[in-house]
Amino acid sequence: MAKIIGAVGTSHIPAIGGAIHKGVQNDPYWQPFFGGFPPVQQWLGQERPDVVVMFYNDHGLNFFLDKMPTFAVGAAPQYLSADEGWGIPAQPPVPGCQDLSWHLIEALTEREFDVVTCQEMLLDHAGTLPLKLLWPEGDGQGGWPVEIVPVCINTVQFPLPKPGRVYALGRAIGEAVAAWQSDKRVLFVGSGGLSHQLDGKRAGHINKGFDLQFLDSMVSNPEWATRYTNHELVELVGTQGVELLMWLAMRGALVAAGPGVREVHRNYHIPISNTATAVLALTT
């Protein structure tokens, strides 16, 4: 059976890619953000996952409103990046774990999740940056140390899937991974949030109190945020802060690893760009 080694939640922001590209991670502006990652990198160096299930939200690169999925599961041999509109250089391709992709697609359909299957899929910054943050050497040229299965969750267009449904998706994926006939070591990543709002007169909205409570809930009370509707979450954490749904899915998946979740490391920093950023690593 496959082994679940833990879960990581992290923010994603296009500007992070720009900072990596320019090599300014230690500048005073960026250090409080990038400084949160070495302890997580170290832990991953010991745990050596083979596969990442990446919960992320597309920002209008791979999906448009003509075919907007609620849940989409990648099943491609590799995932290319592309220009997202700002001319930032595309990330190197990431190899896919097709065996796990199809195992998940089959398990999810059996459990009445109605997923979109993607045998070809462009990965935007939300899918690629977590890999660069967790494995900074990744594809300098020596390849990536992991294969991935991207799971895209709609945060673009309402109605979004309900927080409880997203958590249940995560749980179903965790249980399917735990039952996967494989000797691979699997990590769950949730990419998004925390509180931020890009659009409207309330642009710049940040809710530190909620964020900190949400981070605590990830450790000890994982269903806590499912008490809110998505509309309430938008009010609390902003129109893009609702990306914390990715963390909910990631945390739901970790349930299958067993009881007794332990915090490996956390970091919280305001602001990068318009966002309250965080990284949190959990294991059992």
Q: Which of 31, 42, 119, 221 binds its own copies (CB under 8 A)?
A: 119
With contacts defined by CB under 8 A, name the span among 2-10, 45-53, 170-178, 235-243 that binds another protein. 235-243
Catalytic residue (one of 12, 103, 196, 205)? 196
Give the integer Cα–Cα distance in Å for 115 and 102.
11
Is 84 a residue that touches another protein (CB under 8 A)?
yes
User: What is the closest distance, in whole angstroms, from the C-beta atom of residue 16 to another protein in the complex?
Assistant: 12
Choose from its own copies, another protein, none: what does 67 bind? Cβ within 5-8 Å by kind: its own copies
280 backbone dihedrals φ, ψ, rounded to 5°: -145, 125
What is the β-pairing status of strands 185-191 and 71-74? unpaired
Angle at 145 between CA 46 and CA 13, to 5 degrees: 95
Q: Are 276 and 211 in contact (CB under 8 A)?
A: yes
Give the integer Cα–Cα distance in Å for 25 and 67.
37
Which 3 state secondary structure label does DSSP give 115? coil
> Is 125 annotated in the active site?
yes
Residues numbered 63-92 forming contacts with its own copies, rule: CB under 8 A: 63, 65-72
User: What is the closest distance, in whole angstroms, from the C-beta atom of residue 255 to another protein in the complex?
Assistant: 26
With contacts defined by CB under 8 A, name the span among 51-59, 134-142, 155-163, 200-208 that binds its own copies. 155-163
Q: Which of 45, 89, 200, 258 binds another protein (CB under 8 A)?
A: 200
Q: Which of 4, 16, 160, 189 binds its own copies (CB under 8 A)?
A: 160
Is 143 a residue that touches another protein (CB under 8 A)?
no
Choose from its own copies, another protein, none: what does 167 bind? Cβ within 5-8 Å by kind: none
Closer residue to its own copies, CB minimum distance, 39 or 95: 95
Residue 103 CA to its chain's centroid (Å): 20
CB contact set of 100 (below 8 Å; sequence gap of 6+):
2, 51, 53, 147, 149, 177, 180, 182, 184, 186
> Is 196 annotated in the active site?
yes
Is 113 a residue that touches its own copies (CB under 8 A)?
yes
Residues numbered 6-45 forming contacts with another protein, rule: CB under 8 A: 15
Give the integer Cα–Cα distance in Å for 104 and 247.
19
Residue 33 CA to its chain's centroid (Å): 17
Give the integer Cα–Cα distance in Å for 94 and 144.
7
Task: State yes or no: cis peptide before 194, omega within 30 of 0.
Answer: yes
CB contact set of 172 (below 8 Å; sequence gap of 6+):
107, 108, 111, 113
**Structure tokens, 86:** 């700002």
Which 3 state secondary structure label does DSSP give 190? strand
Closer residue to another protein, CB minimum distance, 83 or 137: 83
Closer residue to its own copies, CB minimum distance, 107 or 212: 107
Is 83 a residue that touches another protein (CB under 8 A)?
yes
Task: List interacting residues with another protein (CB under 8 A).
Answer: 15, 59-61, 64-66, 75, 82-87, 98, 102, 105-106, 117, 119-120, 156-159, 197-209, 231, 234-235, 238-240, 270-271, 273-274, 276
| Residues with catalytic roles | 125, 196
Task: List interacting residues with its own copies (CB under 8 A).
Answer: 63, 65-72, 105-106, 109-110, 112-121, 157, 159-162, 165, 168
